[in-house]
Each structure stands twice: as structure tokens, then as C-alpha cells.
Amino acid sequence: MKYDVIIAGGGISGSIAAISAARCGARTLLIEKWGFLGGMLTAAGVGPMMSFHAGDKQVIRGITGELIDRLVLKGKSPGHIIDTTTYVSTVTPFDYEGMKFELEDMLLDSKGEILYHTMVADVQTENGYINSITVCNKSGLTNLESRIYIDATGDADIAAWAGVPFTYGRSIDSKAQPMTMIIRMANVYIDEIKEYIRNNREEFPEYINDIEIIDKAPRLSAGGFGNLLKDAQRCGEINFKRERVPWSMAKSIILLLLDGAYLLRLRHKPQYV
């Protein structure tokens, strides 16, 4: 089966690439191992998106900007809001299921094709060019051909199998960043969290000079709780090595990332995180 463009990996970058190619009139196929699009944004709870801005200027627009506009219109995102951690200018929370739906809808409306529950299994090359790729799914092994291949697998699978030189991990010992675990916790009293921040500023260095920023966005993100963390470490309640806990909240659900990072995300209604 021949295509103009084949994209391997239906994460946010692969999805946007597929939508763009299909809108240009190319016969486009997007291959994705899960049964939905969005990659780590929708499959692993990674969020919010950060950042569409450089200072006060929005520098990312185009199809990704259109995606956010569609989510905002349907109440699945508050749009671009102030990042209260002060790491970046803005963050963009979103609803996971809403993101899955909009990405698929945009691609299908553009006449692109999707092959879910499918992974690349092999790459056939000749004289430095890719002739075809082999994919695997419930139908078995299938060869696919295309004029252009886009590797959006996240692990450079097509590039590696095609013989492209690559480096794994950091240069000194080839070690890579460890995985991060994410926990979502509901029914958190955000007003009490804010009050704790106000009364314990030494634990939240981002707010030493501007404590009022915690009230400037509908979502609260910060890093701190250093004293509580040390107490828990001394008591043996936790044993991971961290000096502070980064976390993020939207309305009243908290998401917590630990070891690698522990991030808490809170919200009141199941609309976006």
C-alpha cells in the first residue's frame, strides 16, 4: 500500500504533522500504537502544555493554536494562562479526552488516515533511502510504502532501524532520565493550600517577591513543601531523594509527580488538568 506521507507516532507532534500533510492534499497515514492520539499528553497525564509564549508574545500558533481554540470553545481548556511557577510565561491546561477527540476529528476532517494499535516492526532501506516499512498489528505484518516518512515515535525507531547514527542518554555514561510517576488526587482544598503558601513563604522560593501571583490564574502550580518533605524523610515515611516537591493544581484535583519529579494537579470539576 503506497502513501505520499507516513507518520509513525500519533503524539502531539506526529498528529499535527499528519493534519498538516493531509490538508496539503497528500495521501497521509498516521500510525499509532494506542487507540487514540496525543501521545504522552493524553496517555500519561503529562500536562499542562508549556509554553506557547516567549514573554508576552505568543510564538506558537498554526494548527496547534487551532487545536487549543477548539478545546476552549468546547470548555475543554481555559486557554493560555499565567504560569504561577514562574518557569515559563504561560501554561495551557487541557482535558485529556477532549484532546484525543479533537486531534482525531481534525485529522479525519483533513482526509488523513489513522492506523491504531499498530507499531513499526522493521525498515527496508537501499542505498541510504527507505524503500518501505513493516508494521505489526492484529492483522499481522504489513509492508507500507511512502514518498516521505516522518519519525515521530519519540524513540527515533524508524531513524535507528534505517541506520541513522544516534546517541543514547548523556555522553559521559549513556544514562537516560528516569521515568516519572504521576498521581492524580481529588477533593483537595486549594484555598487552604494557598493559605499555607502565604504563611510559609520560606518553603516556596518562587513567591518570595510576589506572593500575589498565586491568585492571578485559574490554575495554581508551584514547587515547595521543603520542610514537610524533610520531616517525612527524617521519619522514614518517604525515602526518595528530593529537596522540594513541584506540583500543579487546577480548581480541585491535584496531580503529583514523584522521583524524577512529583507533581500534584488539583481541580474541582473534571474538565481539564
User: Residues 147, 207: one domain?
Assistant: no
User: Residues 109, 145: one domain?
Assistant: yes
How confident is the model over 19-35, as pLDDT tens digits? Answer: 999 999 999 999 999 99
User: Residues 11, 115: one domain?
Assistant: yes
Asked whether residue 153 is assigned to any structural domain, the reply reads: yes
User: Residues 37, 148: one domain?
Assistant: yes
User: Residues 191, 153: one domain?
Assistant: no
Total Cβ atoms within 10 A of residue 98? 19
Asked whether residue 11 is assigned to any structural domain, the reply reads: yes
Listed in sequence order, the residues at least 6 apart from 272 whose beta carbon sits closer than 8 Å to its beta carbon are: 71, 76, 77, 78, 93, 94, 95, 98, 250
Range of the domain at 219: 181-258
Which amino acid would we find at residue 192? E
β-pair partners for 246: 223
Which amino acid would we find at residue 242? R
d(CA 55, CA 222): 19
Q: Are 121 and 140 in contact (CB under 8 A)?
A: no
User: Residues 42, 121: one domain?
Assistant: yes
Selected residue with higher pLDDT from 38 and 178: 38
DSSP E strand stretches across the chain: 2-8, 28-31, 53-54, 57-58, 81-82, 90-91, 113-115, 119-126, 129-137, 140-151, 181-186, 219-224, 245-250, 253-258
Q: How many domains does the chain have?
A: 2
Selected residue with higher pLDDT from 56 and 247: 56
Q: Are 91 and 216 in contact (CB under 8 A)?
A: no
d(CA 67, CA 7): 19
User: Residues 34, 145: one domain?
Assistant: yes
* pTM for this predicted structure: 0.84
How confident is the model over 129-173, as pLDDT tens digits? Answer: 999 999 999 999 999 999 999 999 999 999 999 999 999 899 999
d(CA 155, CA 53): 27
Asked whether residue 218 is assigned to any structural domain, the reply reads: yes
pLDDT at 123 over 90: yes
Q: What is the pLDDT of residue 206?
A: 79
pLDDT at 45 over 50: yes
The percent of residues in the chain predicted with pLDDT above 70, rounded, is: 88
CATH number, residue 101? 3.50.50.60
User: Residues 32, 106: one domain?
Assistant: yes
User: Residues 139, 220: one domain?
Assistant: no
Total Cβ atoms within 10 A of residue 109? 11
Distances in Å between the Cα of 174 and the Cα atoms of 155, 161, 178, 209 are 15, 19, 12, 40
Asked whether residue 65 is assigned to any structural domain, the reply reads: no
Selected residue with higher pLDDT from 106 and 256: 106
Asked whether residue 84 is assigned to any structural domain, the reply reads: no
User: Residues 102, 225: one domain?
Assistant: no
Asked whether residue 252 is assigned to any structural domain, the reply reads: yes
Confidence band, pLDDT 50/70/90 cuts, at residue 256:
very low
Q: Which among 24, 44, 23, 26 is positioned nearest to 34, based on CA atoms?
A: 44
Q: What is the pLDDT of residue 268?
A: 37
Most confident option among 20-34, 49-63, 74-88, 242-256: 20-34
Burial 247-266 (b: 16+ CB within 10 A, else e): bbbbbbbbbbbbeebbbbbb
Q: Which of 41-55, 107-121, 138-152 has the lowest mean pLDDT?
A: 41-55
User: Residues 148, 216: one domain?
Assistant: no
- Describe the strand order of the beta sheet including 253-258 as a list of residue ranges: 181-186, 253-258, 245-250, 219-224
Domain boundary among 131, 161, 191: 161
Q: Are 104 and 37 in contact (CB under 8 A)?
A: yes
User: Residues 124, 212: one domain?
Assistant: no
